Amino acid sequence: MNPRHLHFAASASVLTIAMLPWQSALALHSLSAGVQYQVANRYGSTPGGSDSARATDGTISLQVSGSGQQASVSVGYGIFKGSADASVYAPGPNTPQIEMAFNLSSVATGRSDDTWVISGGTGKGYLQFTWTIDGSTSSFSSSATASPGSLYDDAYLTLVAQVDARTGFSSYPVSTRSESGAIHGGSSTYETDKLPFYFDQPLDIFFIGQVWATLGSYGQFPGPRFYSGEAHADFSHTAILSGIQAYDAGGNLLSNVTISAESGTPYAVTSVPEPGSAALLGVGLLTLIGYAWGRGVALRAS
């Protein structure tokens, strides 16, 4: 399996998952953030640095750095900023992290959870979210002794939106999510898929942003392990939730729709979709519930 793309799927996806009542997000609203860097090779993972935090209001900002790697994040309701860097230079045969297959990764993760009630329509509707993105990415790796095709390097941003909607007739929410592909630098907009909800019923909204920088090799280095590589992803300029569109059950764009948010954030519903969207491949990114920092920092349920 390609260690760069352990969480990647082949195409864009909207996942629909039936959830039990105790699995739904009942915490009303919160912010979560985490940063981590580490090195992994045939001897296991070398502890790097990590930090995490939770809050209900304002913003969370974290940073961790060391050994040529760093990750930083700032997250609020409707805004995500993150950067990640990984670099290594192995000038000779006795560089311990350059052993067989290896991976260096830095990742910054930010998540916001909120509970909304949407008014201005009846029955079932659909939400679509637009993110305005500004950032830069670069990466390279080289070795005179590595097997051809055995090196990899990448740096990118990913975004996830999930809606847990209730019908009013059942306490069992239905969860749908839209997941971006790897976003590589530049200024652009990204539109999610249309996610179902029900007017005048509580729905839980999750947004997750992740910035990755990763370097590694699939195979053994024959002879002296001469290697150099760098990966840099800077989205500290920001990803902003710049547009929210609401549609009726027939797919018609609605105006005069309002959102009441538990966090008190004044989300605005736009009656005209944002122009243009990034043509992005889909991914199966991460589990959307809580925290756990593993090989590449994914957020899971807390």
Is residue 293 assigned to a domain? no
The token duo for 96 is 């311990």
Is residue 244 assigned to a domain? yes
CA distance 59 to 81: 11
Distances (CA, A) of 257 to 132, 163, 263, 270: 22, 17, 18, 9
Q: How far is CA 92 from the centre of its chain?
A: 36
CA distance 84 to 184: 13
In tens digits, what is the pLDDT along the chain, a chain of 302 residues?
Answer: 333 322 222 223 332 222 223 233 344 799 999 999 987 766 566 667 899 999 999 999 999 998 789 999 999 999 999 999 999 877 655 555 455 577 889 999 999 999 999 999 999 999 999 999 999 999 998 887 767 678 889 999 999 999 998 776 556 678 899 999 999 988 999 999 999 999 999 999 999 999 999 998 876 655 546 778 899 999 998 899 999 999 999 999 998 899 999 999 999 888 655 444 333 323 232 322 232 333 333 333 33
Question: Which residue shows structure tokens 């961790």?
Answer: 64
Is residue 152 assigned to a domain? yes
Is residue 155 assigned to a domain? yes
Is residue 284 assigned to a domain? no
Residue numbers of the domain that contains 243:
3-261
Neighbouring residues of 91: CB distance < 8 A, sequence distance ≥ 6: 226
Is residue 266 assigned to a domain? no
Is residue 280 assigned to a domain? no
Question: What is the number of domains present in the chain?
Answer: 1
Query: What's the predicted TM-score (pTM) here?
Result: 0.77
Strands 79-90 and 69-76, sheet pairing: antiparallel
Is residue 301 assigned to a domain? no
Which residue type is seen at 9? A
Position 272 scores a pLDDT of 59
Please give the radius of gyration of the chain, using alpha carbons only, rounded to the nearest integer: 21
